[in-house]
Structure 1
Amino acid sequence: MSEIKNKRILITGGAGFIGSNLCGYFLNDNQIICLDNFSTGFHHNIHNFISHPNFKLINGDIRDNEICKLAVENVDYVLHQAALGSVPRSINDPITTNDVNVSGFLNMLVAARDAKVKRFIYAASSSTYGDSETLPKIEDVIGKPLSPYAVTKYVNELYADVFAKTYGIETIGLRYFNVFGRNQDPNGAYAAVIPKFVAQFLAYESPVINGTGDFSRDFTYIDNVIQMNELAMIVEKPEAINTVYNTAFGERTTLNQLVNTLKEFLSEFDDKIKDVAIINGPNRVGDIPHSLASIEKAKQLLGYKPQFSMRDGLKETVKWYWERR
């Protein structure tokens, strides 16, 4: 149950994976404006919200200044999730990634500033840590970006910091670490690893792990991400605003461990999945070998208490996909 009541909240990318979950969480007690151009979002993610009296959909692009101005009218909070994700996508098409993630981000910041929005909370990324080998990842120790996508997400943080200092707008960036859960699309060339593997197992197809499977990630269930967005909205301590936070569980899982856990949970629904082989392929260009977040800053300044471990979240996720297969 949300602590935010009677506010007007703009969620950009609201028909996407994370955005649609945020829409659903805040909808009953607040006015929700969902802005999406459906380039990576889906109508079916927001189908249940369309007839809700508190929900408004704007079909538009954050690269359009006029759309951005329209979307922020009388808004209290912006939860900016709209972006072109995926490291491989950015390597294949850096220009479009930059247009959406940098120019679009700047459009939203300017619109929020001009509309005197109370706070601008945006999806940052663990990719910002780049070639830093320090573990766990601490917010003020980063390396050089390893992909065009990572460059764009770091530029977002720089712009947010400049706007806070220059114009007085309140901003908080949430560096998401490998978020997974309900509504995450398993299809397409740039599908994330968990929904892609689930879909392959359900079809009795062998998932392909990039490299030896020893690379590790801090896989983060969607409900922990929702909690962080809400905490970023309600915090009032000056030292907790105009900064960035790791948004994660704080636990490292290798790709081998991940795929074996998925197989374990899916086999509870379909015993044949136990026999599906796992294949190892080449490493992927631009990938960070290891990622593990320190969540101490979020705990201390926001009161963050993640509720779902990787295993707990995977169990919920597998059940969700199984019911919708």
Structure 2
Amino acid sequence: MKKVLVTGANGFLGSHLAEELLKKGYQVFGLIFGDAQKIKHLRGFKNFKPLVGDMTDFRKMLTLFKKYRPECVFHTAALHSPVEIDSPFPFFEPNVRGTLNLLEACRISKVKSFVYSSSMSVYGKADYLPVDEEHLTRPHDFYSLTKFLGEECCRLYAKKYGLRVIILRYVGIYGLRRDWGAITNFIRNALKNKPLSILNNINWDIVYVKDICRANIAALEKAKAGFELINIGSGQEVNIKDVARQIKKMSGSKSKIKIGKRALGPVSSHFYFDIKRAKRLLGFKPSSFQKTVSQYIKELKKQ
């Protein structure tokens, strides 16, 4: 049984990824820090072991790595605030120092593979569409800057120490256990017949969380040795107002849709990924938006 470690196993993406890995028979060590509510569904798996630890504590990370000897690390943990924080330090510690600590622990413990969760935000405003992996990187806030710096740490460890690294850059993700985000807010408000508020009528690429999990697992199982950088999204843009309308219709809601005119600043009003590389290297195929949102609505209705 292959042993893997998932950082942020009590987070949105990490909790889903750990579950999918467990279903495929992996021995999963889930690194958690803080609230453990999102790993309740994992405790029934015999091949799951939660590990409590702070990524910024290098000695703790090295101790855990030497004890449990994972063959691959899926690094999903990061600080990402839904509101802008005007300071680099809250982001730097977990997103850069934490990533560097994990990479160094991998090197010392001879971990074979490292799959790093990154973000569309490292690109900044799109110069052309669809955005491919060769697009200029232009971080526009402290979060995107620290994700980019994390990528560069990964790149260096792959080049200097031969660590097999796959960086996956994601567009907006939706799905169960997401605490915030447009899709989550739309569905929750629609189920209560509350207004569906749209800050800007933008056209963006969004992807279902289970698709992201499949991409991560494929990165481990299919990607070649060395270094890879891969965009993960649906490969098409959706209009946020149309999304609100579809959710309203699918949920049978009486909600009204309200559109604001908030300044976008350094963010593009149109953005979607070129996913040819993901299809070629990972066999990636995004799920139907209508099908996954319908499933998400059903899941939230049960809560």
Per the normalisation by structure 1, the TM-score is 0.87
| Alpha-carbon distance in 1 for matches of 2:211, 2:135 | 23
Task: Report the alpha carbon displacement of residue 285 of structure 1 after superposing the two structures with TM.
Answer: 4.8
1:65 and 2:58 are equivalent in the alignment: yes
| Comparing 143-152 and 290-299, the one that deviates more | 143-152
Identical pairs, percent? 29
Cα distance in 2 between the residues matched to 1:180 and 1:321:
12
Aligned pair partner of 1:53 in 24, 42, 46: 46
For residue 79 of structure 1, report the CA deviation from its aligned partner.
0.4
Tell whether 2:185 aligns with 1:196: yes
How far did 1:158 drift?
Answer: 1.1
Listed as ranges, the matches of 1:84-123 within 5 Å are 84-86=79-81, 88-89=83-84, 91-123=85-117
Within 1, Cα distance between the matches of 2:261 and 2:185? Answer: 15
Residue 36 (structure 1) aligned with residue 32 (structure 2): yes
2:217 maps to 1:223? no
Partner of 2:228: 243
Counterpart of 1:312?
291
Deviations 1:245-271 (A, max 9, x none): 01111110121112111111111xxxx
Aligned to 1:80: 75
CA contact (8 A) 2:2 2:71 kept: yes
Q: How far 1:130 moved relative to its partner? A: 0.8
TM superposition shift of 1:51:
4.5
Alignment match of 1:295 (pick from 275, 284, 288): 275
Tell me how far 1:134 sits from its aligned partner: 1.2
Q: CA deviation at 1:172?
A: 0.4
Counterpart of 1:243, as a letter, is E
Cα distance between partner residues in 1 of 2:266 and 2:182: 15
How far, CA to CA, are the matches of 1:87 and 1:124 in structure 2? 16
Q: 1:275: how far off?
A: 4.0
CA distance in 1, matches of 2:46, 2:228: 34
> Does the Cα contact within 8 Å between 1:63 and 1:104 map onto a contact in 2?
yes
Distance 2:38 2:250 in 1: 24
3-state SS of paired residue (1:278): strand
Distance 1:99 1:10 in 2: 20
| Secondary structure in structure 1 of the residue aligned to 2:271 | coil
Give structure 1 regions of 4+ aligned residues with deviation exceeding 6 angstroms. Answer: none
Check if 1:321 corresponds to 2:300: yes
TM-score, with structure 2 as normaliser: 0.93
* Structure 2 residue aligned with 1:3: none
CA distance in structure 1 between the partners assigned to 2:160 and 2:33 by the alignment:
30
Supply the AA of the counterpart residue of 1:25: E
Per-residue CA deviation, residues 70-125 of structure 1 (Å, 9 max, x unaligned), is 33231011000000124634x34431012111111111111111111110001011
1:87–1:45 distance in 2 versus 1, CA, 3 Å = closer
For the pair 1:19 / 2:14, whether they are aligned, the reply is yes
CA distance in 1, matches of 2:13, 2:254: 30
Aligned residue for 2:43, secondary structure, equals coil
SS at match of 1:52: coil
Q: CA deviation at 1:7?
A: 0.9
| Structure 1 residues 71 and 137: alpha-carbon distance in aligned structure 2, compared to 1, 3 A threshold | farther
Residue matched to 1:270: none
SS in 2 for 1:237: coil
Shift in Å at residue 277 of structure 1? 3.8
Q: Distance in 2 between matches of 1:290 and 1:70?
A: 45
Instruction: Measure how far apart 1:157 and its partner are.
Output: 1.4
- 1:184 alignment partner, SS class: coil
Cα distance in structure 1, aligned partners of 2:91 and 2:223: 33
Distance across 2 between alignment mates of 1:149 and 1:208: 25
Shift of 1:178: 0.6
**2:2 aligned residue:** 7
User: CA separation in 1, counterparts of 2:233 and 2:241?
Assistant: 20
Matches of 2:140 and 2:172 in 1, distance apart? 16
How many residues were matched structurally?
300
8 Å contact from structure 2 (residues 56, 93) kept in 1: yes
Question: Does residue 254 in structure 1 map to residue 239 in structure 2?
Answer: yes
Q: CA deviation at 1:166?
A: 0.6
